Structure formats: C-alpha cells, structure tokens
Amino acid sequence: MTEPQSTSPQSGPQSPATSPATSPATSPVTSPAMSSAARRVLVTGASSGIGAATVRRLRAEGWRVVAAARRKDRLEALAEETGAEAFALDVTDDAAVEHLVEHLRATGGLDAVVNNAGGALGLDTVEAADVDGWRHMYELNVLGTLRVTQGVLPLLREAGGGDVLNVTSTAAHGAYEGGAGYTGVKHAERMLTTTLRWEIVGEPVRVIEISPGNVATEEFSLVRFGGDADRAAAVYDGYQPLVAEDVADAIWWTLSRPAHVNVDLMVVRPRAQAHNTKVARTGV
C-alpha cells in the first residue's frame, strides 16, 4: 500500500544546504560519510509513509538518495533530517518527469529507482464507482510508474546496470468487494513490472516487485476514505499491521542482494493477515 501524493506549486530539486530561492538545480545534498561508490537511488512518493521510510533506510546504509514527491515542504524537512536530495515531482506530469531525468543525468546518473508513488481512493462498488477517482488512480499508480521507468531506464543502462523496484500491493494479487478500482490499477502495475522483466531479460537490470499488505501509515487509509479518521483507523483495529519501516527494510534487502540475484516478487503481510480481507482481529 503506497502513499498518495498531494499537490505542490512547482517541481525541481531542493537542497537542505541552501534556501529554495538560491539552491542550484544541479546541487544534490551529499554527506561526508558517503562512499564515492555508494549507490544513487530515486524514491518516488517520498514525502511520507513507505517512501519516507525508504529514504531513511537507504540513507542509513550510506546510499545517495533522491527523494521525489509533490510536497516540497515535507521533502525539504526529510532532506534536512537525512541528507537526501529533495526533488519536487508530479509523476503524472510528462514534462516534470523529463526534467527529473535531465537533472539525474547531469548530476551523476542513477543506479536504482523505487517506484513507490501511488494510492487508493474510495471503497465503492463497481456499480457506484467514481470514474474520475479511477482515472486518477490509474494516472498515479500505473502511468506514473510507466513515465518514471521509461525515463530512468536509459540512465540505468548508462550506469552499466541497476534496479527497477515497483511497490505494488497485495491488491495486485487478488480481488475484494469495493476494491475494483484499486485492485485494477495495482494488477496493471504488476503486469507492467512482470512484462518489463521479460522484455529486458539478459540486460544487467533487475526488475523487482514488493507487494505489501496492510500497512499503517499516517495517510494511506485517511486519503482513501476522504479524511474520515474513524473509518481509516478501523482498518487497523484489533491486530498489529505492518508499519512503513517494515516495507522499507524489505526494499533495502532486495536492492542490496548480489547483482546476479533478482527477487522477482516479495509479498509482505502482517502475521494476522492471510488475504486482503482475511484478518484475525484478536488483539495481537
């Protein structure tokens, strides 16, 4: 389950070392502790939830991280905390993604991308579905992943190989009532991932899918239910859900395997969850 993005007035890189008004477009934040051989990883949807946790995890390993999302204020705070580079980005905007790719190429290239930007809207039946909501989910979860992947694949090849890691959901592997919009887009994102792996087999680029089950983040369910905090909290009542750091750890582990090892798919659920709608709410 990934974090839905929110709006921001402009796109571009921001460094915590300088003010937004004076930060040069080609000045990523660096840390003296970073090895020159550290991998450079792009994480989308990085302003909160799984994305922010992934930025923290990868930075803790000494990797160079470009944290991208729409909310520039949150990105700047995360960059100040972690030493990551902040890049304001709307993955549904072709020009914004092109600008990101140009920036990455001009500032050292890329070794891996974590396509995490995404989210769910509503829990309506097919009969009562909001067409605009479905369209937005498709733009964000599927076409956003497509745009970024298409943009960075040449950079990974120029680096001599790398990783495309897509964060989907257990919704990509099964249906549930009221979930057709979200399960549909996550199934599409899963097929994008699997097909890409088949199409570029033989190249030194790994294609990885991480599919989380129920993850209690500050925004996923709250956004899904239009800000209804009680309804959002009820999703996680009576059991211990995953937290964002659990998924971030799985992401780091798959990216850190030896180059010849590809983790095609990792499904990560709470112990209490056996299926999308099968949860043992026993208080543990």
Q: Which residues pair with 87 in a beta bridge?
A: 13, 68
182 carries an active-site annotation: yes
Torsion of CA 133, 138, 144, 145, to 10 degrees: 140
Half-sphere exposure of 86 (CA within 13 A, CB side): 28
DSSP one-letter string for 166-210: EE--GGGG---TT-HHHHHHHHHHHHHHHHHHHHTTTSSEEEEEE
Question: Taking the chain, what is the end-to-end CA distance rounded to the nearest angstrom?
Answer: 21
Q: List the catalytic residue out of 138, 182, 236, 239.
A: 182
| Residues of the chain by 3-state class (helix, strand, coil), percent to 5 | 40, 15, 45
For the record, the structure tokens of 213 come out as: 């089950």
Contact 185, 168 (CB under 8 A): no
CA-nearest of 114, 131, 135, 221 to 171 is: 221
User: Chain-centre distance of CA 125, in angstroms?
Assistant: 27
Angstrom distances, CA of residue 219 to CA of 2, 178, 229: 9, 19, 10
Q: Packing angle between helix 244-255 and helix 49-60, nearest 10 degrees?
A: 50
Element (H, E) at 250: helix 244-255
- The amino acid occupying position 120 is A
- What positions carry a catalytic annotation? 182
